[in-house]
Amino acid sequence: MKHVTLKTGEQVPALGLGTWHMGERDGRRMREIDALKAGLDLGLNLIDTAEMYGEGGAEKIVAKALAGRRDKVFVVSKVYPHNASYRGILHACERSLKRLETETIDLYLLHWRGSYSLTETIEGFETLKDQGKIRYWGVSNFDAVDMAELLSADGGEGCVVNQVLYNLTERGIEWDLIDHARLNDIATMAYSPLAQGDLMDDETLGGIAETHGVAPAAVALAWVMNQHRTITIPKAASLEHVKQNAAALDVKLSPEELKQLDAAFPPPMGPSPLAIL
| CATH number, domain containing residue 8 | 3.20.20.100
Q: What is the mean pLDDT of residues 1-13?
A: 96
Domain assignment present for 271: no
Q: What is the mean pLDDT of residues 205-226?
A: 97
Q: How many CA atoms lie within 13 A of 45 on its CB side?
A: 16
> How far is Cα 45 from Cα 14, in angstroms, rounded to an integer?
9
Domain assignment present for 32: yes
What are the two backbone dihedrals, phi and then psi, of residue 183, each rounded to the nearest 5 degrees? -65, -25
Q: How confident is the model at residue 228 (pLDDT cuts 50, 70, 90)?
A: confident
pTM above 0.85, yes or no: yes
Domain assignment present for 272: no
> How far is Cα 259 from Cα 5, in angstroms, rounded to an integer?
27
> How far is Cα 96 from Cα 261, in angstroms, rounded to an integer?
39
CB 137 within 8 A of CB 129: yes
Helix (H, G, I), strand (E, B) or coil at 29: helix
pLDDT at position 111 is 98
Check whether 1 has a pLDDT greater than 90: no
Domain assignment present for 256: yes
Q: How confident is the model at residue 238 (pLDDT cuts 50, 70, 90)?
A: confident
Which residue range forms the structural domain that includes residue 52? 3-264
Structural domains of the chain, count: 1
CB 183 within 8 A of CB 157: no
Check whether 197 has a pLDDT greater than 90: no
Listed residue (78, 81, 107, 113) closest to 95, CA to CA: 78
Domain assignment present for 195: yes
Distances (CA, A) of 228 to 14, 36, 156, 259: 11, 26, 22, 17
Q: What is the mean pLDDT of residues 59-77?
A: 97
Tell me how many helices (H) and strands (E) the chain has.
Answer: 10, 10
CB 101 within 8 A of CB 71: no
Catalytic residue list: 53
Domain assignment present for 277: no
Listed residue (49, 2, 63, 43) closest to 21, CA to CA: 49
Q: Tens digit of pLDDT for each residue in 77-130?
A: 999 999 999 999 999 999 999 999 999 999 999 999 999 999 999 999 999 999
Q: How confident is the model at residue 244 (pLDDT cuts 50, 70, 90)?
A: very high
Domain assignment present for 60: yes
Q: How confident is the model at residue 198 (pLDDT cuts 50, 70, 90)?
A: confident
DSSP state of 193: T
Listed residue (31, 46, 34) closest to 249, CA to CA: 46
Asked which of 110-119, 234-243, 265-274 is least confident by mean pLDDT, the reply is 234-243
> How far is Cα 73 from Cα 248, in angstroms, rounded to an integer?
19
Domain assignment present for 250: yes
